[in-house]
Amino acid sequence: MLRTLAFLTAAIVAGSASAAPAHFAERSVDVKGKTYRYQVFIPADTTKHPAVVLFLHGSGERGSDNQKQMTQGLPPWLKQHMDFPAVVVIPQAPDDTEWTDEADANMALAALEKSVKEFDGDRKKLYVTGLSMGGYGSWQLAVDYPDKFAAAAIICGGIVPLPDPEGRRLFLQGVPKGADPYAWAAQKIGKTPVWLFHGGDDTTVPTDESRKMNAALQKRGAEVKYTEFPGVNHGSWEKAYATPDLWSWMFSHTR
């Protein structure tokens, strides 16, 4: 009888754990002796090897408070869609850094890896998405790790340096001197499916950045979709993440 009661108690506890409501949780990861904090969206059911999405925020959300990156893009959308079925990893880039910097890229990947292990995520269903500076970072990761992600959703990102008097370093790292950066990036990305989003009147990251990458990927025969929002300036991420078919398209791809 005692053995039966112990078994039933364990089963009830396990069932309760798997049925916990979806929520956000703080985590940290150590990379080369430095500790970085990040957020994770944990869906209600993590018992079936969930897909894992890496989200890279824009330049305005940098810092060390582990909160600013929750204010734009995917995290606010998730708060309105708590039935989202995947784990979402939400790191924060330190002040005065870029996702295209090697240190920031390594930190984001370390947070992704730790989350995959913690939630027993499906390594065939890893996805990357980002906006603005995070769009640049998403391109960088897609170029540097062409066999890692099953698909990417890149919002108002770019490849070449921005015409920015403040001296931001936003541009794709590793492009050989004299090479066409768009053709080179498309060749490196290979067959990773990409859905591009951009505002038609973007005055921060030129809309041509996504148009040229779309053309370069099409020329290589890659699977690419491009959505341009007429009359929209830089803040195209609200419309992008509200696109009805985005996540069904993303999750239809596996490695």
Q: What is the pTM for the complete model shown?
A: 0.90
Q: What's the pLDDT score for residue 47?
A: 87
- Which residue, chain included where needed, has tokens 């505002």? 199
Amino acid identity of 191? Answer: K
* C-beta separation of 70 from 122 below 8 A: no
| pLDDT per residue of the chain (255 residues) written in tens, 0 to 9 | 444 444 444 444 444 344 689 999 999 999 999 999 999 999 999 888 999 999 999 999 999 999 999 999 999 999 999 999 999 999 999 999 999 999 999 999 999 999 999 999 999 999 999 999 999 999 999 999 999 999 999 999 999 987 654 555 568 899 999 999 999 999 999 999 999 999 999 999 999 999 999 999 999 999 999 999 999 999 999 999 999 999 999 999 999
- Say how many CA atoms lie within 13 Å of 143 toward its Cβ: 26
Distance CA 147, CA 165 (A): 36
**Alpha helix positions (H), the chain:** 2-18, 74-79, 102-118, 133-144, 181-189, 208-219, 237-241, 246-251
Distance CA 137, CA 99 (A): 5
How is the chain split into domains, by residue range?
Answer: 20-251
Pairing of strands 126-131, 224-229: unpaired
User: What is the 3 state secondary structure string of 168-206?
Assistant: CCCCCCCCCCCCCHHHHHHHHHCCCCEEEEEECCCCCCC
Q: How is domain 20-251 classified at the architecture level of CATH?
A: 3-Layer(aba) Sandwich (3.40)
* C-beta separation of 200 from 207 below 8 A: yes
> Strand pairing partners for 112?
none
181-189 helix and 133-144 helix, angle to the nearest 10 degrees: 60
Q: What's the pLDDT score for residue 211?
A: 98
Q: What's the pLDDT score for residue 4?
A: 43
Distance CA 197, CA 211 (A): 10
Amino acid identity of 189? Answer: I
Q: What's the pLDDT score for residue 166?
A: 52
